[in-house]
Amino acid sequence: MVKKSVVWKVGAMACISALALSACGSGNDSATTKDGKPVINVQVILDARAEKMQKMGWTKGLETACDCYINWTNTGSASWDQQKKTSLAAGEVADVTIGGYGSGDMSDYGSLFMNLKPELKSMPNVSKMFKEDPYSEVVSTTYDGKIYGTPVVARPVTARTSNHMFINKQWLDKLGLKVPTTWDELATVLKAFKTQDPNGNGKADEIPMDFYTPGTDGFWLFQPNVLLSSMGIVVPNGPLGMYVDNGKVKNYLTDSRYKTLIQFMHQLWADGVVSPEAFTHDWSKFTSTAKGNGKTATVGFEWMWTPSGTFGQENADQYVTIPSLKQSADQKEDPVWSYNGDDLAYKVDSAVISSSVKNKEAALKFVDAFYSADMSVQARYGAFGTAVKKLGTNHYKVLNAPAGHEEADWMFYQALGDAAPGWINSDMKLELPQIHSEVKTVDKVYDNDYKNVNFNKDILYQNMPATKEQNDAMSANNTGINQYAMSKFAQWVTKGGVDNEWDEYVAKLKQNKLQDNVATEQKIYDTYVKRMNKLGVNLNNFNE
């Protein structure tokens, strides 16, 4: 069985040569040190900014917890993909791998990893997490009831969505305009941004609207499909077009509301208020453009994560977050907002153990140690004394970066950041620097929109497990669906023609078995919800 892969999952590391494979695998290494301590070989995904694990002060606590010697292997994510294939093909995985394998890897290689479900009695911290936050167990469980890895769980410090909608309030004020509440009002504002020099530099350098370039394989984050929320569709970050409405899986690619969105976007393009590079720029160009030119902002409206992270410290205070717009002022449908909060708060298979590990007891203790309160905080933010001050039981203050380190990079330099196995829970009191807490303020803007969402019936969950057969069938169908649908979106926005070609387009998607995929997704969803109900999960409690 296999879980479906999700977008933007961090990969991890392995050894690429035969010699390295022998060194990092569990099969050929000494099982104990000279003084008899068990040895466990641990592979870790490291951010490009990170120190080696051996130099992170908090890792010594892991050795104490497992009473073992840890043989660390540090590898960056950039080289992981090919290395992972080599490692899996050779049947050589480390005793423990952190961040290295996604749920999709368990399809063909599940036998290489230990099923942790029978071992939970030896993992008190993980067992406590599963009991107190049963959704963490739901996301960790495969279609056939196995648990191949432990997750990252950090709901109190994460957002409900990655998509936050920003507009330059300073520009609005200068032009005497109000924050838009409808699509028509947005169009009026964007035209003013284009023609009235709101940044005041005498140049026509304003980009009224920008978004991240949609790919040929579907929509991801920070793209215009989020505007479907205006008409009641809770847009997920997942399979192209799929969403859930009152427990029923649907697909918006053939929905008239999607056609309405395309018509609106084409009009904006024809008005010249969308960045001419919106369908061609890469991530680097998109993010650098948002930061403007020094203290001069150049982008008026876009979707992103936080103002400071998007527009830079110099220009962030010009922007405000705005809630979902209405498609029209007189619409009866309540606006909602996009949601991928379950994926932000619950990252699956963060730590996995080899099925052939020699020192099983030590490996289980090692993984379980990440889920104590103290280690969860340190693995995410950094060691006590240098990055975190412990103020009391379950009470922590995350410190600002020291001189010589960028604030945004600090937690990724001497910790694993949001990729760290661990359990940040509501019993903890965390005092965070502004850079870590800003997203919660931004996210709160959507409280009223989320009141119109039933999180138990209106969400396409990100980590739903599927059988290999289900995944293979959907992937085969998607080959024809995704490229065709996305090419049409780009064509219709930039050149028009959706009205004349819509019926033919809908017919072709049906020929490509779009409805078969919807039916399969419904079966996957129903099985997942059944497991949620069995464990007493109520996600509405998580999103109040």
Q: Which of 97-106, 399-408, 512-521 has the highest mean pLDDT?
A: 512-521
**78 pLDDT more than 90:** no
- pLDDT score for 61: 96
**81 pLDDT more than 90:** no
pLDDT in tens, 368-388: 999 999 999 999 999 999 999
**102 pLDDT more than 80:** yes
- pLDDT score for 2: 46
Contact predicate 512/484, CB 8 Å = yes
Average pLDDT of span 270-281: 98
- pLDDT score for 18: 32
**143 pLDDT more than 50:** yes
- pLDDT score for 294: 93
Q: What is the pTM of this model?
A: 0.90
* Strands annotated E in 122-277: 149-153, 164-168, 207-209, 242-245, 248-251
Question: Is beta strand 164-168 parallel, antiparallel or unpaired with respect to 149-153?
Answer: unpaired
Residue 84 Cα distances to 100, 323, 435, 532, angstroms: 8, 41, 33, 32
Mean pLDDT lowest among 70-84, 87-101, 162-176, 439-453: 70-84
Mean pLDDT, the chain, rounded, equals: 92
Residue 329: exposure state from Cβ atoms within 10 A (0-12, 13-18, ≥19): exposed
Rounded Cα distance between 506 and 542, Å, is 37
Q: Provide the percentage of residues in the chain whose pLDDT is more than 90.
A: 83
Average pLDDT of span 321-334: 96
- pLDDT score for 105: 82
- pLDDT score for 5: 39
